[in-house]
Amino acid sequence: MICHACNNLGKRILLRVLFFLLIFTTMSDVFSETYRFTLLHTSDEHSVLTPLPAIDYLPDTDDRSLGGFARLSGWVKQVEEKKGEEEVLLLSSGDYIGGSPFAWLILEGYAPEIEIMREIGYDAVTMGNHEFDYGPEVLASYYQRAGYPTVVSDLPVLVSNLDIPESHALNDVGLKDNMIIELKNGLKIGITGVLGEDAYALAPEAMPVGVYNPMENVQRQADLLREKGAQIIILLSHSGWDEDKRIAEGTSGVDIILGGHDHIETEKPQKVNESFIMHSSYYLRKAGMLEVVFNTESGVVSFANDDNDQPFLVELDSSIKEDTVIRKKIESYAEKLNVFVSEFSDSMFFDVNAPVISSEFALKKPEEFTETTVGNFLTDAMRLESEKVLGKNVDIAFQANGVIRGELNPGTMPAKLNQISFLDLVTIAGLGTGPDLRPGYPLVSFYLNAREVYNVFEIVSLLSQIMGDTYFLQVSGMKYTYDPGKAYWLKIPFTGIPIPAYRAVKDIYIYQGGGIQHEQGYAKLNRNDDRLYHLVSDHYLTSFLPMVGEMLPELAVVLKDENGNPQNVDQTIIYENGRELKVWESLARYAISFGTKEGEIAKMSDEYRQVQQRIIKDKGIPLAVWGWSGVGALLIGLGMLVRWITVKIRKRKRTRSVN
């Protein structure tokens, strides 16, 4: 029999429970809110104002190029329109300067990148190592020409860990440590920026500006922003993926790290400790889009992308309608660039978008620490064009991967099939400046004996194993075999400092022929040969060689003239008609040298279709195995010695006690 009284009591209890749950939920909503906003992110724009490859960029058509600030601006407007009342922030993690020839306009008195970014509506940017390519004095002038510090409220430059001398002009442009943006819905977002130590190490022109410890500054800024009422903390970091992870692991309170520097892309934010880390590609090929959700009660940050079927990375292709205002601004800068190139080259080149060479194949960099076809082409250009200017044979030319800024991809559109434009060509070699403060690293010419030539490649083997592919060399006029595992014995624990072994380079052969290097015709370089060999490289890279020799005397390199007299790096610069010969200039001249008939576009030599075994990697057992084996044996020996001494002492004590 059913107990009606019990049944009614159960119903009353259930109704009360539901009532209290409703009241609790209602009260919970009073004390907690869910905020939403959209975060757009770019990094490592590198003065690439127009899409790449430039030869494939055909405005208002369905082309195959990627990027460009006009597309970015058009996309931002699309997102803002779609989001309606939900607010959208646009941020950059730095390196908006340096790479494309458009950066050369900085030395001509313009500030194209930051002016365009301000007009697009970026909410904040930080600084990368390439912002210092032309030195901190030029950088200060760059910001001032763009209207800083007056316009700093329009586009704040956030970098919290720069050590700037008191009297330096960078102190006068309005750089900020942090900022708080309060959205219309009341959410307070704290933003700070940092330049990583690894990135700063690649900014030799930054002196006398230094950097303070990034991790300590990030924690300090996060704490300050929390004290000011920030509910979400965003870090704009130009540090690279590994250092971003260390910052996330070593700090608290940072919700989102938007990173850059090493040109990688994450398909979605990666959670490390308390922080989500996102890297959003480079050259504006793609942009990051994070649909942020924040719960005030839990303090938890999450993303609605998956729920909305919205990718975290968006490709900026021709399906995006360009912002015509930004496009016209870029076109005006292109005209200024044409004027500069024409004047600098004595009208040899006058249109940066014009094709200079055709190729039926791409010149690629498929993987790290290997010979590449694009590296062969560039170093051949340096060697052979230097010979023309100097009127002397050049034995060896070399260039570092970090200065070779990409690949050469011929046009794929029917109207531009197989063509490579001036802009695409020189973008791979357009970094830096020389003592003349004109665009591009100058070529340098110097002489070394055979042992010093070996030392150069021992230095590079050591540096590339410690600091990465950036320091790996491409070569012309020679071939060599090396074993990366024999660059050092071992690394000292907790410091990462290597103990050099000076055994990485097994042999070097000098090419004996003329013109493009072939697979035949070499003579082995004897380490004890006193003859002086003629080398060519760039001013930036060569400046490091004597410094390494000072720290490691076994790898000493003394730059010399053809008579053996020591020279400093500035004395080795190659001049033509009183001005510096630039790396990008030698590359452009070399490209058009393949032309056979006047008025016809040059054609790439088939020699560059594949690599030529200039660099041979011979991997044996790493010395570190023997090094740690030796350490292990030493420790075992020491342990046995201690044990033997202990036994002797105990026996002696027992003997004394008996006596």
Residue that has been written with the tokens 């600030």 in this structure: 69
**pLDDT over 50 (residue 555):** yes
The residue among 192, 144, 137 whose CA lies nearest residue 165 is 137
- Alpha-carbon distance of 571 to 308, in angstroms, equals 61
Reported as a single tens digit per residue, the pLDDT across 406-452 is: 999 999 999 999 999 999 999 999 999 999 999 999 999 999 999 99
Q: pLDDT at position 9, please?
A: 53
Of 8-22, 124-138, 521-535, which range is least confident?
8-22
Percent of the chain with pLDDT over 70: 89
Length of the chain: 659
Would you state the structure tokens that stand for residue 457, as one six-digit string? Answer: 């490649």
**pLDDT over 90 (residue 33):** no
Report the mean per-residue pLDDT for the chain: 90
Q: Specify the amino acid at residue 114.
A: I
Q: Which residues fall within 8 angstroms of residue 354, CB to CB, at 6 or more apart? A: 421, 422
290 three-class SS: strand
Strand-pair partners of 419: 358
| Inter-CA distances, 424 with 356, 418, 515, 598, Å | 10, 12, 24, 22
- Alpha-carbon distance of 657 to 659, in angstroms, equals 5
CATH code, residues 35-325: 3.60.21.10
Q: pLDDT at position 622, please?
A: 64
Output b/e per residue, 26-64; b: 16+ Cβ within 10 A: eeeeeeeeebbbbbbbbbbbbbbbbbbbbbbbbeeeebb
Q: Which residues fall within 8 angstroms of residue 618, CB to CB, at 6 or more apart? A: 481, 482, 483, 506
Q: Where in the chain is the domain with CATH 3.60.21.10?
A: 35-325
Mean pLDDT of 217-242: 98
- Alpha-carbon distance of 627 to 649, in angstroms, equals 33
Tell how strand 232-238 and strand 188-195 pair up.
Answer: parallel
Mean pLDDT of 346-367: 94
Residue that has been written with the tokens 């309170």 in this structure: 253
Would you state the structure tokens that stand for residue 98, as one six-digit string? Answer: 């340096």
pTM of the model: 0.87
Strand-pair partners of 76: none
The residue among 235, 279, 238, 272 whose CA lies nearest residue 256 is 235
Reported as a single tens digit per residue, the pLDDT across 180-192 is: 999 999 999 999 9
Q: pLDDT at position 140, please?
A: 98
234 three-class SS: strand
Q: pLDDT at position 345, please?
A: 94
Host H or E run for residue 276: strand 275-279
Q: pLDDT at position 631, please?
A: 45
**pLDDT over 80 (residue 319):** yes
**pLDDT over 70 (residue 640):** no
**pLDDT over 80 (residue 1):** no
Mean pLDDT of 75-93: 97
Mean pLDDT of 164-177: 97
Reported as a single tens digit per residue, the pLDDT across 254-298 is: 999 999 999 999 999 999 999 999 999 999 999 999 999 999 999
**pLDDT over 80 (residue 644):** no
Q: Residue 29's pLDDT band (boundaries 50, 70, 90)?
A: very low
Tell how strand 124-125 and strand 88-92 pair up.
Answer: parallel
Question: Radius of gyration (Cα) for the chain, nearest Å?
Answer: 30
489 or 44, higher pLDDT: 44
3 or 229, higher pLDDT: 229
> What secondary structure does DSSP assign to 317-366, as a single string?
-TTSPP-HHHHHHHHHHHHHHHHHHHHHTTTS---TTSEEEE-SS-B---
Q: pLDDT at position 384, please?
A: 98
Q: pLDDT at position 581, please?
A: 98
- Alpha-carbon distance of 226 to 252, in angstroms, equals 11
Residue that has been written with the tokens 């290997």 in this structure: 370
Q: Where in the chain is the domain with CATH 3.90.780.10?
A: 354-617
Q: Identify the architecture of domain 354-617 in CATH.
A: Alpha-Beta Complex (3.90)
**pLDDT over 90 (residue 163):** yes
The 3 state secondary structure assigned to 439-485 is ECCEEEEEEECHHHHHHHHHHHHHHHHHHCHHHCEEEECEEEEECHH
The residue among 72, 69, 79, 74 whose CA lies nearest residue 115 is 69
DSSP H helices, 56-163, are 69-83, 112-120, 136-145
Reported as a single tens digit per residue, the pLDDT across 453-477 is: 999 999 988 888 888 898 899 999 9
Q: pLDDT at position 32, please?
A: 59
Would you state the structure tokens that stand for residue 381, as one six-digit string? Answer: 């250009």
487 or 108, higher pLDDT: 108
Half-sphere exposure of 575 (CA within 13 A, CB side): 8
